[in-house]
Copies of this chain bind each other. A is one copy, B any other.
Amino acid sequence: MAHTLTFREAVAEAIKEEMKRDPTVFVMGEDLGKFGGSFGTTRGLLAEFGEERIRDTPISETAIVGFALGAAMGGMRPIAEIMRCDWMTICMDELVNQIAKMRYMSGGRPEIHLVVRTNTEGGIGLGPQHSQSFEAWFCHVPGLKVVMPTNAYDAKGLLKSAIRGRNPVIYMEPNSLLSMSASIPDEDYTVPIGKAEVKKEGKDVTIVAWGTMLAKSLNAAKTLASEGIDAEVIDLRTLHPMDTETIVNSVKKTGRLVVAHEANRTGGLGAEVAATVQELAFDSLDAPIKRVATPDAMIPANRRLEKYVLPQEDKVIEAVKSIV
């Protein structure tokens, strides 16, 4: 049997089930108790679990993440929330120098089982300081795992894997996908970290996307299909470690690759995908790999400008056509 949930409800349900399953799981972050989270992803949890396990914090991002690390070392499985990815900038030391390295620095001893959840990407008119997505940074940091689900099913399944896992996971929730629904099995399931998913098979070109760009890429694929171009679309889902195999296999079949993400182009994770694929599938490539991304620009608040700056479906179509 199954039920229907939005992305944000799927997040809450994953947390709820894991908290019931494991008393060491708890949640901490800003405005996530009574308010249910600035983006509504923790609604209902306070009523169910109380203030001891659903912990509202002051505006202290370094303490949120640093306490989560200490709590994990002390045997708990914290789920820390940083309200917006833009503010992950504040706790980068905790993430990069402490959390990612604590196990290694300690001779491989402690398990840093914690999740840092954050709302990412733009698209709702919040302007330059509230619309960014820094997945490329986190993937550059050995010791972390990074996931970004694109639908409620994966949101729940990946979050469960992250919570149950034995390593620190950055779990990124794309802003504009939170209200999208999907069918969720009633029974317990997980989605493995490290596996991409082929969302649509195709033979002419591979499109690898994550976050908001996945849906735009699938739409683009529809349009392209009507013009006789058969695109294969891959949802990367786990950004680090990357499922290179699935991508390379696809490119070996199609001979062409477009990578689409919402983060800024230069230094974005699209570069990593392109660099890896051209190395591993050089002889299969019939055309240059194209990247679709936000140009190297800030994201304006004005909705028309925002839409103009962020990559849309047409940019994916354009990129595909330029190489097919």
Q: Is A60 an interface residue (CB 8 A)?
A: no
A128's closest neighbor in chain B, by CB? B101
Identity of the chain B residue whose Cβ is nearest the Cβ of A94 in the assembled complex:
B89
- A97 contacts B93, C-beta separation under 8 Å: no
Q: Identify the closest chain B residue to A290 (Cβ).
A: B279
Task: Tell whether A86 is near chain B: CB-to-CB under 8 Å.
Answer: yes
Of B86, B92, B95, B288, the contact of A282 (CB 8 Å cutoff): B288
Cβ–Cβ contact A105 & B93, under 8 A: no
B87 touches A267 (CB 8 A): no
Q: Are B266 and A140 neighbours in the complex by a CB distance under 8 Å? A: yes
Tell me the residues in window 295-315 of chain A with beta carbons closer than 8 Å to chain B beta carbons: 296-298
Residue of B nearest to A103 (CB): B298
8 Å CB contacts to B: which residues of A125-156?
Answer: 127-129, 132, 134, 136-137, 139-143
- Which chain B residues border A129 with CB–CB below 8 Å? 97, 101, 105
Q: Does A270 contact B (CB under 8 A)?
A: yes
A225 at the interface (CB under 8 A from B): no
Interface size on A, residues (CB 8 A): 51
> Complex Cα distance A266/B156, Å?
27
Contact assessment for A96 and B101 in the assembled complex, using a CB-CB cutoff below 8 Å: no
Q: Is the CB of B278 within 8 A of A274?
A: yes
Query: Which residue, of A275, A296, A298, has the highest number of chain B Cβ atoms within 10 A?
Result: A275
Q: How far does the alpha carbon of A127 sit from the alpha carbon of B97 in the complex, in Å?
A: 11
Contact of A87 among B90, B93, B104, B134 (CB under 8 A): B93
Cα of A149 to Cα of B229 in the assembled complex, Å: 47
Residue pair A289, B279 in contact (C-beta under 8 Å): yes
Q: Is there a chain B Cβ closer than 8 Å to A43's Cβ?
A: no
Task: Tell whether A269 is near chain B: CB-to-CB under 8 Å.
Answer: yes
**By the criterion CB–CB under 8 Å, are A272 and B282 in contact?**
no
Instruction: Check if A240 is an interface residue, CB within 8 A of chain B.
Output: yes
Q: How far is the CB of A309 from chain B (nearest CB, A)?
A: 11
Which chain B positions have C-beta within 8 A of A272? 266-267, 271, 275
The residue among A266, A269, A289 with the most chain B CB atoms within 10 A of its own CB is A266
Residue of B nearest to A105 (CB): B128
**A32 CB contacts on chain B under 8 angstroms:** none
Once the chains are docked, how many angstroms separate the CA of A132 from the CA of B140? Answer: 11
Chain B residues within an 8 Å CB radius of A280: 288
A127→B107 CA distance, assembly (Å):
13
Task: Name 17 interchain pairs, CB-CB below 8 A, sorted by A.
Answer: A86-B97, A87-B93, A89-B96, A96-B132, A101-B129, A105-B298, A136-B136, A136-B140, A137-B267, A141-B264, A142-B266, A142-B297, A143-B298, A240-B266, A267-B267, A274-B275, A279-B289
Name A's B-contacting residues (CB within 8 A).
86-87, 89-90, 92-93, 95-97, 101, 104-105, 127-129, 132, 134, 136-137, 139-143, 240, 242, 263-264, 266-272, 274-276, 278-280, 282, 285, 287-291, 296-298
Known: A270-B275, A282-B288. 15 other contacts (CB 8 A): A89-B93, A89-B96, A101-B129, A134-B140, A136-B140, A136-B267, A140-B266, A140-B268, A142-B264, A242-B266, A267-B267, A267-B272, A271-B271, A271-B274, A279-B290
